[in-house]
Amino acid sequence: MADYKNRLTTSSGAPVGDNQNSITAGERGPALIQDVHLLEKLAHFDRERIPERVVHAKGAGAFGYFEVTNDEISKYTKADFLNEKGKRTPMFIRFSTVAGELGSADTLRDPRGFAVKFYTQEGNYDLVGNNTPIFFIRDAIKFPDFIHTQKRNPQTNLKDKNAVWDFWSHSPESLHQVTYLHGDRGIPATYRHMNGYGSHTYKWVNEEGEAFWVKYHFVSDQGVKGMDEKVADEIAGTNPDYHTEDLFNSIENGDYPSWTLYVQIIPFEDYKTYKWDIFDVTKTVSQKDYPRIEVGKMVLNRNPENYFAEVEQAALSPAHLVPGIEASPDKMLQGRLFSYSDTQRYRLGVNHEQLPVNRPVVDIKNNQRDGYMQQGNYGTNINYEPNSYSEEPKEDTSNRINPFEVEGEAAQVPYNSNDHYTQAGDLYRLMSADEKDRLIEAVVGHLGQCTMEEVKLRQIGHFYKADAEYGERVAEGLGLHVPEEVKA
Ligand code: HEM
């Protein structure tokens, strides 16, 4: 008697009679095209891979919740999920490295992605940040070139330190992040031992329509710990999935990692006068000027059940905003608002928002229809607006964006500050003597792999301008004589 509950089927549901032997003409073959189970099995297998993320390909994900711990946050934003102390919102996070491919080692020196999806009652809110409060560049138009230098050389298919340092040395706005990256935070001990930052300045709007600028800081409750590069390199060879494994096992063992979320609130008008351009993502905003305010706690307490379905198919996008949270004019952020959902339409398909990990917890009501892999298509509902049917979804004008006045010509205008050195130098001077030693060793180790003397000298010039000692020590480490004009 067949076990109907547990029998193997084809994807159209027919029972499979034999999953070990293909249908052949006679004992020794050849195989017959009528073996549709064999054909389907091979055909589906042939299509198992989807494109990896163009950046941040290697990552690990987990689920959990976010709980508000401060009643005062609704003074600054009407975001529903932040409006009450004790309110819990389910969330998903994906940690990642930036430059490596899907199978690359977790412990390489690289920024780490820190991408959070909050499943709120007003739609998904994604905060797609890194473990660094700043970035290498500040205009989206430079991003593809930058990433080309981080990926493989078109001829050799090798990682290319000449390209990396050539680009950085020609883009001095990267100096702050380059210093951050070669410091102790450049290789976190685990994903649990690093902070997360929104990096850009975002805009919050409260119920009264008052706007504020905001910077996000997730501070690790496990503490921040780095990993020595020699240890990291060894682990890269012996266990390339070290951080992935650590995250999975700690959650599996009930040792749930958590982060406290703080924000810096910047009064709206301050963007005109603050000493740094708050929309320049290569700069930080001082905590002395805008102290951190606690918002809540994020706890990771559930591992994905299926990596591909829940982590590889996750689509996090800075464009996923909710009422009370808006974009700022930051030119990098503006480019990102397009790029993520665009790549996801290519990587996962136009209906990727319907996949379980991406599906909002609220009903989706709009007039978008059809497309590959459509999962429902709204049945008999009409598909246009405006219309005469009162029960059909209508726009809610209370959710129009908070107006932001702009002036000037439409033009290609560079940022008006070229001080790439003060904050990078401050970061260097803030480091302990030991950390400075490790920073110099890391910079010398990596810049030393660049074979172009002209590039090395140009980069050393930037280190000099940040702090003469910083430049001096890198030059000494590389055994280079630096002409006076390079230092100035
Ligand atoms: C992933 C573009 C800057 C953090 C991605 C992806 C693209 C992209 C196309 C792949 C997304 C996917 O396939 O799902 C860009 C562009 C940038 C930029 C065009 C600049 C204009 C940044 C910055 C940060 C950042 C400044 C951090 C503050 C991330 C993270 C991911 C990611 C964390 C991985 C998301 C995930 O885990 O699925 N980026 N990026 N990116 N980016 Fe960016």
Chain segment 333-351, per-residue pLDDT in tens: 999 999 999 999 999 999 9
Q: How far apart are CA 83 and CA 283, in angstroms?
A: 30
H or E, element range at 117: strand 112-120
Q: How far apart are CA 466 and CA 468, in angstroms?
A: 7
Is 321 part of a structural domain of the chain?
Answer: yes
The amino acid at 25: A
The angle that helices 331-347 and 143-150 make with each other, rounded to 10 degrees, is: 60
Residue tagged active-site, from 56, 182, 200, 352: 56
Per the CB < 8 A criterion, the answer to whether 274 and 285 are in contact is yes
Q: How far apart, in Å, do the first and last CA atoms of the chain sit?
A: 87
Is 82 part of a structural domain of the chain?
Answer: yes
pLDDT at residue 479 above 80? yes
The residues lining ligand 1, judged by C-beta closer than 6 Å to any ligand atom, are 53-56, 59, 94, 96, 113, 115, 128-130, 135, 140, 143, 199, 281, 314-316, 332, 335-336, 339-340, 343-344, 347
Is 303 part of a structural domain of the chain?
Answer: yes
Is 168 part of a structural domain of the chain?
Answer: no
CA distances from 189 to 219, 227, 414, 425 (A): 15, 5, 38, 25
Statement to judge: residues 218 and 293 lie in one domain: yes
β-strand partners of 59: 96
Q: How far apart are CA 472 and CA 25, in angstroms?
A: 77
Per the CB < 8 A criterion, the answer to whether 107 and 236 are in contact is yes
Mean pLDDT of 441-458: 98
The Å distance, Cα 363 to ligand 1 centre, comes to: 27
Ligand 1: atom nearest CA of 347 is 13
Statement to judge: residues 127 and 235 lie in one domain: yes
Residue tagged active-site, from 37, 124, 130, 243: 130
* pLDDT, tens only, 392-419: 899 999 999 999 999 999 999 999 889 9
Q: Which CATH number does the domain housing residue 440 bear?
A: 1.20.1370.20
Is 342 part of a structural domain of the chain?
Answer: yes
Per-residue pLDDT, 312:
98
pLDDT at residue 91 above 80? yes
Statement to judge: residues 332 and 476 lie in one domain: no
The amino acid at 99: A
Question: Could you tell me the pLDDT band of residue 372, with boundaries at 50, 70 and 90?
Answer: very high
Count Cβ neighbours within 10 Å for each residue of 428-442 and write b for 16 or more, e otherwise: beebeeeebebbbeb
pLDDT at residue 487 above 90? no
Statement to judge: residues 115 and 259 lie in one domain: yes
Per-residue pLDDT, 391:
85
CA distances from 436 to 189, 191, 224, 458, 467 (A): 18, 23, 17, 21, 12
340 known member of a binding site: yes
Statement to judge: residues 310 and 452 lie in one domain: no
Given 311, 337, 354, the domain boundary residue is: 354
Residue 148's Cβ-count burial label (10 Å; 0-12, 13-18, 19+) is middle
Is 327 part of a structural domain of the chain?
Answer: yes
Tell me the Cα Rg of the chain. Answer: 26
The Å distance, Cα 370 to ligand 1 centre, comes to: 27
* pLDDT, tens only, 170-214: 999 999 999 999 999 999 999 999 999 999 999 999 999 999 999
Is 394 part of a structural domain of the chain?
Answer: no
Is 53 part of a structural domain of the chain?
Answer: no
The amino acid at 241: D
Q: How far apart are CA 23 and CA 372, in angstroms?
A: 33
Q: How far apart are CA 458 and CA 171, in angstroms?
A: 10
Give 357 or 391, the one with higher predicted confidence.
357
Q: How far apart are CA 29 and CA 117, in angstroms?
A: 52
DSSP 8-state class, residue 403: P
Predicted ipTM of the assembly: 0.98
Statement to judge: residues 296 and 428 lie in one domain: no
Per-residue pLDDT, 220:
98
Mean pLDDT of 61-66: 99
The angle that helices 422-430 and 468-478 make with each other, rounded to 10 degrees, is: 80
Per-residue pLDDT, 4:
79
The Å distance, Cα 111 to ligand 1 centre, comes to: 11
* pLDDT, tens only, 462-471: 999 999 999 9
CA distances from 481 to 5, 390, 461 (A): 77, 77, 12
Nearest one of 105, 380, 415, 112 to 240, comparing CA atoms = 105
The angle that helices 453-466 and 161-170 make with each other, rounded to 10 degrees, is: 50
Nearest one of 130, 129, 165, 167 to 145, comparing CA atoms = 167
Per-residue pLDDT, 2:
61
Statement to judge: residues 327 and 432 lie in one domain: no
The Å distance, Cα 55 to ligand 1 centre, comes to: 7
The Å distance, Cα 383 to ligand 1 centre, comes to: 33
Per-residue pLDDT, 440:
98
Statement to judge: residues 195 and 314 lie in one domain: yes
- Establish whether 56 is a catalytic residue: yes
pTM of the predicted protein model: 0.97
Among protein residues, the one with the nearest Cα to ligand 1's atom 14 is 315
pLDDT at residue 390 above 90? no
Look up the domain containing 437 and give its range: 421-486
* pLDDT, tens only, 140-175: 999 999 999 999 999 999 999 999 999 999 999 999
Given 325, 354, 383, the domain boundary residue is: 354
Statement to judge: residues 325 and 435 lie in one domain: no
Place of tokens 């450049």: 186
pLDDT at residue 1 above 60? no
Given 3-state DSSP classes, what are the helix, strand and coil percentages for the chain, each rounded to the nearest 5? 35, 15, 50
Per-residue pLDDT, 107:
98
The amino acid at 152: R
Statement to judge: residues 240 and 328 lie in one domain: yes
Among protein residues, the one with the nearest Cα to ligand 1's atom 17 is 336
Among protein residues, the one with the nearest Cα to ligand 1's atom 12 is 53
Q: Which CATH number does the domain housing residue 245 bear?
A: 2.40.180.10
Statement to judge: residues 347 and 428 lie in one domain: no
**Does the N-terminal peptide bond of residue 318 adopt cis geometry, omega within 30 degrees of 0?**
no
Pocket test for ligand 1, best of 52, 53, 114, 215 (most atoms within 8 A of CB): 53
Question: What phi, psi does 409 have (nearest 5°)?
Answer: -90, 150
Per-residue pLDDT, 124:
98
Per the CB < 8 A criterion, the answer to whether 91 and 298 are in contact is yes
* pLDDT, tens only, 9-28: 999 999 999 999 999 999 99
Per-residue pLDDT, 318:
98
* pLDDT, tens only, 283-328: 999 999 999 999 999 999 999 999 999 999 999 999 999 999 999 9
Statement to judge: residues 331 and 443 lie in one domain: no
* pLDDT, tens only, 69-86: 999 999 999 999 999 999
The total number of structural domains in the chain stands at 2
- Establish whether 153 is a catalytic residue: no
Q: How far apart are CA 461 and CA 468, in angstroms?
A: 9
Given 300, 323, 354, the domain boundary residue is: 354
Per-residue pLDDT, 488:
82
